[in-house]
Amino acid sequence: MDSAFQLASPVAAHQMIGTRPVSAHKVPADLASVDPRLLASSRAAAEDFEAFFVTHSFADMMGDMQPDALFGGGEGESVFRSFLLDEYGKMVAKTQGIGVADTVQRELLHLQEVPKK
pLDDT band for position 1 (cuts 50, 70, 90): very low
CA distances from 67 to 30, 58, 96, 102 (A): 48, 15, 30, 35
pLDDT of residue 20: 52
pTM of the model: 0.65
d(C-alpha 97, C-alpha 87), whole Å = 13
Per-residue pLDDT tens for 3-59?
444 444 555 555 555 555 444 556 666 676 778 888 889 989 999 999 999 999 999
DSSP summary character for residue 71: T
Q: What is the pLDDT of residue 33?
A: 74
Instruction: Please say whether the beta carbons of 96 and 20 come within 8 A.
Output: no
Helix, strand or coil for residue 66? coil
pLDDT at 27: 65
